[in-house]
């Protein structure tokens, strides 16, 4: 009897010890955070991945899986999400190609205990725990109009060159920009055209703008493909100095056009910071140190904290303006 009792106690102790060991092992286990981007091969997302790696190094026990489809399609991203669910990653931080189409796949990921956040381009609220905006939409909308207006003290005609008619980002920014127009006297928006984020179509649309609106003073392109194509079309039309191309672009891609004068200035947030912040937040949520709920403040390392609104969205920081004075410094970074 006593032998049996002793044996039992030993087993129980061993079991308890094993459990404790397993638990501590689980804690030391590295967190695998997947950074899912709109498409591979885009300079912006490559820079975000560098930021994510930086955060991973700082946090220590994090492994970054940088992935995405080769073309900017929702279908491609769903495949990627399914693969990540199968790999049992700890968190998915996604920049979405479609607001709604990804929701079922991401819901499945959350059902399996994976932390899901969206960043840059958002997913509908039911498909993620929170969304990190690079900046706030009203702020970006205001910035892109201000960039054009700063070069036009007398006012004048401006046009928007957007991505596709269904791009979540571009359409919201242009909507917000339109709201603040009354604050900029003399700035007259004549039209919004769509270059579909293709270099050739954006170039052609710009040529069309220059033909149709001979008095055009500025083209605002809040898309990195569009702004480069528009600047090239303005250069080829010999209209440098007459038509200023501005909007959102990447310093490395815009350096030549800023130097040629086709673009006086443009803005973008720092994608390195964005990848860094998304990774930091995903880590805080997956370790349970922070909770994604309206009003919550989540730390983002060196960037500060983000406060979530009632939709579970938060803004990282203001967009940053690049011009001839600082383009060289940043064009080698991203």
Partner 1 sequence: MSAFLKSREAILALAILVLLAVVASRFPGFVRPGSLANVLTDTSPLIILALGQMVVILTKCIDLSMAATLALCGMVAGLLNMAGLPLPLILLAVVVLGAVLGAINGLLVWKLGIPSIVVTLGTMTIYRGTIFLLTKGQWINAHQMSDGFKAFPRAVFLGLPVMAWIMIAIVIAAWVLVNRTPLGRAFYAVGGNPHAAVYTGISVGKTQFWAFTLSGALAGLVGYLWVARYAVAYVDIASGFELDIVAACVIGGIAIAGGAGSVAGAVMGAIFLGIVKNALPVAGISPFAQMAISGTAILIAIAFNARGQGPKGRIILKQAEHKSPEARA
Q: Which residues bind partner 1 (CB under 8 A)?
A: 39-43, 46, 70-71, 165, 191, 193-194, 198-201, 203-205, 207-209, 211-212, 228-229, 231-232, 236, 252-257, 259-260, 331
Q: Which is nearer to partner 1, 129 or 263 (CB)?
A: 263
Q: Which is nearer to partner 1, 150 or 236 (CB)?
A: 236
Q: If we measure between CA atoms, which residue out of 284, 280, 251, 281 comes closest to residue 265?
A: 251
d(CA 187, CA 147): 11
Q: If we measure between CA atoms, which residue out of 171, 152, 137 comes closest to residue 264?
A: 152
d(CA 234, CA 170): 21
Task: Report in angstroms how near the CB of residue 198 gets to partner 1 at its nearest.
Answer: 7
Task: Report in angstroms how near the CB of residue 305 gets to partner 1 at its nearest.
Answer: 32
Q: Which is nearer to partner 1, 42 or 142 (CB)?
A: 42
Task: Report in angstroms how near the CB of residue 232 gets to partner 1 at its nearest.
Answer: 5
Q: Which is nearer to partner 1, 88 or 259 (CB)?
A: 259
Q: Which is nearer to partner 1, 187 or 209 (CB)?
A: 209
**Residues 125 and 149: beta-carbon distance below 8 Å:** no
Task: Report in angstroms how near the CB of residue 164 gets to partner 1 at its nearest.
Answer: 9
Q: Which is nearer to partner 1, 19 or 212 (CB)?
A: 212
Task: Report in angstroms how near the CB of residue 167 gets to partner 1 at its nearest.
Answer: 12
Task: Report in angstroms how near the CB of residue 208 gets to partner 1 at its nearest.
Answer: 3
Give the CA count within 13 Å in the CB-facing half-sphere of 112. 17
d(CA 174, CA 266): 15
Q: Which is nearer to partner 1, 248 or 255 (CB)?
A: 255
Task: Report in angstroms how near the CB of residue 39 gets to partner 1 at its nearest.
Answer: 7
Q: Which is nearer to partner 1, 136 or 162 (CB)?
A: 162
Q: Which is nearer to partner 1, 72 or 286 (CB)?
A: 72
**Residues 265 and 319: beta-carbon distance below 8 Å:** no
Q: Is the dihedral of CA 149, 150, 156, 162 positive or negative?
A: negative
Task: Report in angstroms how near the CB of residue 26 gets to partner 1 at its nearest.
Answer: 35
Task: Report in angstroms how near the CB of residue 212 gets to partner 1 at its nearest.
Answer: 5
């Amino acid at each position: 009897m006593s032998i049996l009792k002793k044996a039992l106690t030993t087993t129980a102790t061993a079991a308890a010890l094993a459990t404790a060991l397993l638990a501590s092992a689980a804690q030391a286990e590295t967190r695998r955070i997947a950074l899912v981007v709109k498409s591979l091969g885009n300079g912006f997302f490559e820079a975000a991945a560098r930021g994510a790696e930086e955060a991973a190094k700082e946090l220590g026990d994090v492994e970054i899986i940088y992935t995405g489809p080769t073309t900017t399609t929702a279908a491609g991203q769903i495949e990627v999400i399914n693969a990540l669910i199968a790999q049992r990653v700890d968190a998915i931080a996604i920049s979405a190609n479609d607001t709604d189409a990804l929701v079922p796949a991401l819901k499945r990921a959350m059902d399996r205990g994976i932390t899901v956040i969206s960043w840059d381009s958002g997913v509908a609220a039911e498909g993620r725990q929170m969304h990190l905006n690079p900046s706030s939409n009203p702020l970006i909308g205001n910035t892109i109009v201000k960039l054009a207006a700063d070069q036009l003290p007398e006012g004048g005609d401006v046009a928007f060159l957007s991505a596709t008619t269904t791009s979540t980002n571009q359409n919201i920014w242009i909507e917000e920009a339109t709201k603040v127009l009354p604050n900029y006297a003399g700035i007259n928006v004549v039209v919004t055209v769509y270059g579909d984020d293709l270099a050739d179509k954006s170039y052609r649309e710009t040529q069309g703008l220059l033909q149709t609106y001979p008095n055009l003073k500025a083209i605002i392109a809040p898309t990195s493909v569009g702004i480069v194509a528009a600047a090239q079309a303005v250069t080829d039309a010999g209209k440098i100095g007459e038509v200023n191309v501005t909007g959102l672009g990447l310093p490395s891609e815009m350096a030549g056009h800023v130097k040629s004068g086709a673009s006086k200035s443009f803005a973008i947030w720092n994608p390195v910071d964005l990848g860094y912040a998304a990774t930091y937040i995903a880590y805080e949520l997956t370790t349970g140190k922070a909770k994604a709920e309206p009003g919550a403040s989540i730390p983002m390392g060196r960037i500060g904290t983000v406060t979530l609104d009632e939709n579970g969205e938060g803004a990282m920081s203001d967009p940053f303006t690049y011009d001839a004075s600082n383009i060289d410094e940043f064009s080698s970074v991203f």
